[in-house]
């Protein structure tokens, strides 16, 4: 008989008491902390030393953690009818929503599922596109190398070649992913959820259907900005590549946007710069000219948080993090932040490139680390962000303060650029932030429908591209079911929910607007930096320290004064009045405003 069934059948049938519930929670948190730390260490090893042994150990540790959560979640059902103190009741709820994947009760299926996930992530991490060795370009390219080509090449044939080449990583994993969905759904149903997607949506302090409607509401607030930007970008790309490559209406070819997934477009700013924009500074060039290395890139991020009043990162952060891709082994280069021991063993893992984009990514990842440390003194079940969008938003909020004024303060610019030419600065931000929004939305729109069965395995690729055309207005060309393009994105391969990133791109502007006001910034919102503001740092830290001890509207109110997510802050950031200051009442036409047809 299975271990967890033995535990369940051994449970007493007598009425439960509040002291028993509190004692159970104390034991559960102690056991979960130990299991989490073990899984974290095994996961770090798998990501930084990809091989069969590390993959097996990570799968085993992950399986043990998941089983521990499932056993405790079912044991917690004993206390459902008790009138518990508010803190204990919230802990029980969070315990049952602790996982993004629930393994089935069958031991063989449980092991199969965790090994599937480990194998899919490793396959993604070690993926390469090997060109025809008979050509003069015959060599294998990893995702970092392909991404550099996507960012810098302006040859549409080369771009199409590497874009299609990378997506060859997906088809071999299609069968594994189909089986993964079956098993993950079985586990979710055993915990009382209709499917894994419904389980994910249950984590937002509101019913799953209500959360889906909330996401739709936020998208409608920002959609006009994206439609305008899309129309402008399509016209400029048509001017560059010609009518035979870029259509006058409809979707933009996916390989032309400077990014493998078309989720950010700032790499093609040189093709899109407005004619009336002041000459933009090139932060990538500045960093390289000054011979800033990978460690110094991270120290810039640390110094920003220190200026807000946060303590320096621990010494072990610098000893144990992965900053540079090793030359002797495969690693998962996708940037991530780690709290290995749920205390002070903070790390980041990324193969840092010296670039403006990575400068911002570092601030983002450190945001996770400082959030993790801020709530470390909370009980284990409260050591998380208010919702997962908060965790993603914090670092990006800080990155919004990477303004010309900030770069001047830290000596990377001799003087701040003239605000009168800020249309270019705003365009660069729009290409990163506004361009991302529909992509951040559609990943889980696809997965929610896959988990629910609305999208069948026979439709995986068809429906993927239908959603990309609907939300992003991007097309990959003829991509039949012999392809499995969703697997070309890390978060699909690794089963990481993605709506958090969409929420983060809303929340970061809401956080930034509130903190800029606290810092006393009086200029345009896009020129406000909270660097060196201890007042803003204290307000931010007050929210971070809450962890997930309160429903997310309470945490949002602590930093913004509002209990509802509000995308008007996005509009405020990109709106400019005639005087050049931010217009907080009615938005002027957004960056790239154009009457041409948008994504549809």
Residue pLDDT, tens place only, 66-81: 889 989 988 998 898 8
pLDDT at position 4: 35
**Residue 581: band (very low, low, confident or very high) from pLDDT cuts 50, 70, 90:** very low
Residues 434, 405 contacting (CB under 8 angstroms): no
Non-local (6+) Cβ contacts of 157 within 8 A are: none
Rounded to 10 deg, the angle between the 356-374 and 534-545 helix axes is 60
**Residue 120: band (very low, low, confident or very high) from pLDDT cuts 50, 70, 90:** very high
The model's pTM is 0.85
Q: For the chain, give me the number of helices (H) and strands (E)?
A: 25, 6
- Is 109 a residue of the active site? no
Task: Report the b/e string of 454-465 with b at 16+ CB within 10 A.
Answer: ebebeebbebbb
Q: Please state, in angstroms and rounded to a whole number, the distance separating the CA atoms of residues 571 and 590.
A: 8
Residues 165, 146 contacting (CB under 8 angstroms): yes
pLDDT at position 232: 96
**Residue 191: band (very low, low, confident or very high) from pLDDT cuts 50, 70, 90:** confident
Residues 485, 442 contacting (CB under 8 angstroms): no
Is 366 a domain residue? yes
pLDDT at position 278: 65
Q: What average pLDDT does this structure show over 286-300? A: 96
Q: Please state, in angstroms and rounded to a whole number, the distance separating the CA atoms of residues 528 and 580.
A: 13
Residues 251, 474 contacting (CB under 8 angstroms): yes
Residues 105, 4 contacting (CB under 8 angstroms): yes
Domain that holds residue 358: 283-319+353-430+499-574
pLDDT at position 334: 86
Nearest to 112 by CA among 206, 183, 53: 183
Residues 530, 508 contacting (CB under 8 angstroms): no
Q: Of 491, 535, 545, 597, which residue is the catalytic one? A: 491
Residues 283, 356 contacting (CB under 8 angstroms): yes
Q: Please state, in angstroms and rounded to a whole number, the distance separating the CA atoms of residues 417 and 415.
A: 6
Would you say residue 420 has pLDDT above 90?
Answer: no
Q: Please state, in angstroms and rounded to a whole number, the distance separating the CA atoms of residues 342 and 313.
A: 14
Q: Please state, in angstroms and rounded to a whole number, the distance separating the CA atoms of residues 406 and 531.
A: 7
Nearest to 116 by CA among 493, 496, 498, 497: 493
How would you classify residue 262: left for phi > 0, otherwise alpha for psi between -120 and 50, otherwise beta?
left
Q: What average pLDDT does this structure show over 117-136? A: 82
Q: CA distances (Å), 53 to each of 58, 110, 190, 449, in order?
A: 9, 19, 30, 34
The overall average pLDDT reported for the chain is: 90
The one-character DSSP state at 128 is E
3-state secondary structure of 230: helix
**Residue 319: band (very low, low, confident or very high) from pLDDT cuts 50, 70, 90:** very high
User: Which residue would you say has higher pLDDT here, 373 or 428?
Assistant: 373
Is 526 a domain residue? yes
Percentage of the chain lying above the pLDDT 90 cut: 80
DSSP per position, 309-365 = TPPPPPHHHHHH-B-S--SSS----S-EEEETTSSS-EEEE----SSHHHHHHHHHH
Is 590 a domain residue? no
pLDDT at position 135: 53
Q: Please state, in angstroms and rounded to a whole number, the distance separating the CA atoms of residues 311 and 305.
A: 8
At 151-172, the pLDDT tens digits run: 999 999 999 999 999 999 999 9
pLDDT at position 2: 37
Lowest average pLDDT, out of 267-281, 306-320, 517-531, goes to: 267-281
Radius of gyration of the chain (CA): 24
Q: What average pLDDT does this structure show over 311-315? A: 97
Would you say residue 131 has pLDDT above 90?
Answer: no
The number of distinct structural domains making up the chain is: 1
Nearest to 491 by CA among 128, 177, 46: 177
Q: Which tokens in the block code for residue 309? A: 């009043």
Nearest to 45 by CA among 33, 34, 56, 31: 56
Is 209 a domain residue? no
Q: Which tokens in the block code for residue 335? A: 């940037």
pLDDT at position 236: 97
Q: Please state, in angstroms and rounded to a whole number, the distance separating the CA atoms of residues 382 and 379.
A: 5
Q: Pairing state of beta strands 474-475 and 252-253? A: parallel
DSSP per position, 373-421 = HHTTTS-GGG-S-SSHHHHHHHHHHHHTT--HHHHHHTTSSSSPPPGGG
pLDDT at position 376: 96
Q: Please state, in angstroms and rounded to a whole number, the distance separating the CA atoms of residues 283 and 407.
A: 9
The sign of the torsion formed by the CA atoms of 149, 279, 592, 444 equals positive
Q: CA distances (Å), 215 to each of 101, 201, 251, 438, in order?
A: 22, 11, 23, 11
Q: Please state, in angstroms and rounded to a whole number, the distance separating the CA atoms of residues 45 and 235.
A: 46
Would you say residue 206 has pLDDT above 70?
Answer: yes
Residue corresponding to tokens 């991509």 = 479
- Is 364 a residue of the active site? no
Residues 510, 569 contacting (CB under 8 angstroms): yes
Would you say residue 525 has pLDDT above 80?
Answer: yes
**Residue 433: band (very low, low, confident or very high) from pLDDT cuts 50, 70, 90:** very high
**Residue 575: band (very low, low, confident or very high) from pLDDT cuts 50, 70, 90:** confident
Would you say residue 592 has pLDDT above 60?
Answer: no
Q: What average pLDDT does this structure show over 342-358? A: 94
At 16-58, the pLDDT tens digits run: 899 999 999 999 999 999 999 999 999 999 999 999 999 899 9
pLDDT at position 279: 66
pLDDT at position 594: 30
Is 565 a domain residue? yes
Would you say residue 590 has pLDDT above 80?
Answer: no
**Residue 133: band (very low, low, confident or very high) from pLDDT cuts 50, 70, 90:** low
pLDDT at position 15: 59
User: Which residue would you say has higher pLDDT here, 589 or 571?
Assistant: 571
pLDDT at position 281: 80
Strand partners, 347: 338
pLDDT at position 598: 33
Would you say residue 137 has pLDDT above 70?
Answer: no
Q: What average pLDDT does this structure show over 259-270? A: 95
Q: What average pLDDT does this structure show over 472-478? A: 96
Is 417 a domain residue? yes
pLDDT at position 357: 85
pLDDT at position 277: 72
3-state secondary structure of 434: coil
Would you say residue 352 has pLDDT above 50?
Answer: yes
Is 557 a domain residue? yes
Q: Of 63, 266, 356, 365, which residue is the catalytic one? A: 365
Is 407 a domain residue? yes
pLDDT at position 280: 66
**Residue 195: band (very low, low, confident or very high) from pLDDT cuts 50, 70, 90:** very high
């Amino acid at each position: 008989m299975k271990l967890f069934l033995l535990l369940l059948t051994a449970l007493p049938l007598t009425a439960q008491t509040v002291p028993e519930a509190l004692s159970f929670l104390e034991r559960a948190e102690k056991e979960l902390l130990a299991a989490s730390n073990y899984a974290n260490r095994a996961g770090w090893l798998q990501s930084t030393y990809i091989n069969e042994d590390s993959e097996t150990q990570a799968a085993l540790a992950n399986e043990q953690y998941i089983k521990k959560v499932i056993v405790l979640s079912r044991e917690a059902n004993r206390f459902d009818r008790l009138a518990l103190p508010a803190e204990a009741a919230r802990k029980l709820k969070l315990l049952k929503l602790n996982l993004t994947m629930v393994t089935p009760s069958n031991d063989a299926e449980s092991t199969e599922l965790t090994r599937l996930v480990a194998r899919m992530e490793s396959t993604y991490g070690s993926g390469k596109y090997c060109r025809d060795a008979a050509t003069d370009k015959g060599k294998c390219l990893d995702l970092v190398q392909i991404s550099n080509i996507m960012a810098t090449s302006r040859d549409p044939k080369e771009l199409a070649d590497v874009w299609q080449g990378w997506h060859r990583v997906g088809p071999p994993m299609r069968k594994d992913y189909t089986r993964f969905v079956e098993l993950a759904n079985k586990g979710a149903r055993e915990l009382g959820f209709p499917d894994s997607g419904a389980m994910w949506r249950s984590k937002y302090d509101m019913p799953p259907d209500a959360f889906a409607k909330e996401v739709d509401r936020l998208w409608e607030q920002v959609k006009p900005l994206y439609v305008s930007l899309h129309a402008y970008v399509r016209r400029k790309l048509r001017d560059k590549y010609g009518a035979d490559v870029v259509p006058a209406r409809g979707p933009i070819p996916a390989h032309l946007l400077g990014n493998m997934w078309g989720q950010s477009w700032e790499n093609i700013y040189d093709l899109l710069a407005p004619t009336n924009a002041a000459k933009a500074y090139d932060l990538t060039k500045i960093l390289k000219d000054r011979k800033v290395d990978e460690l110094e890139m991270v120290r810039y991020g640390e110094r920003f948080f220190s200026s807000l009043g946060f303590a320096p990162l621990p010494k072990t952060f610098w000893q144990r993090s992965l900053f540079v891709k090793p030359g002797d082994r495969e690693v998962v280069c996708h940037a991530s932040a780690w709290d290995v021991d749920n205390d002070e063993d903070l790390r980041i893992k990324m193969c840092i490139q010296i670039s403006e984009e990575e400068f911002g990514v570092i601030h983002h990842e450190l945001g996770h680390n400082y959030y993790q440390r801020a709530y470390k003194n909370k009980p284990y079940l409260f050591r998380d962000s208010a919702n997962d969008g908060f965790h993603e938003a914090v670092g990006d909020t800080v990155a919004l303060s990477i303004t010309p004024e900030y770069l001047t303060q830290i000596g990377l610019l001799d003087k701040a650029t003239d605000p009168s030419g800020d249309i270019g600065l705003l365009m660069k931000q729009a290409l990163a932030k506004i361009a991302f929004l529909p992509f951040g939305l559609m990943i889980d729109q696809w997965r929610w429908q896959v988990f629910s069965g609305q999208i069948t395995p026979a439709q995986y690729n068809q429906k993927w591209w239908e959603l990309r055309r609907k939300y992003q207005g991007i097309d990959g060309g003829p991509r039949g079911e012999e392809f499995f393009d969703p697997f070309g994105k890390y978060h699909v391969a690794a089963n990481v929910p993605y709506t958090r990133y969409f929420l983060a791109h809303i929340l970061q502007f809401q956080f930034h607007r509130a903190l800029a006001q606290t810092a006393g910034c009086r200029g345009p919102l896009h020129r406000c930096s909270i660097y060196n503001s201890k007042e803003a740092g204290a307000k931010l830290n007050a929210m971070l320290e809450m962890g997930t001890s309160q429903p997310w509207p309470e945490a949002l109110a602590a930093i913004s004064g509002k209990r509802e997510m509000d995308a008007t802050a996005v509009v405020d950031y990109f709106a400019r009045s005639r005087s050049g200051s931010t217009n907080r009442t009615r938005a002027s036409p957004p960056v790239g405003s154009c009457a041409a047809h948008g994504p549809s």
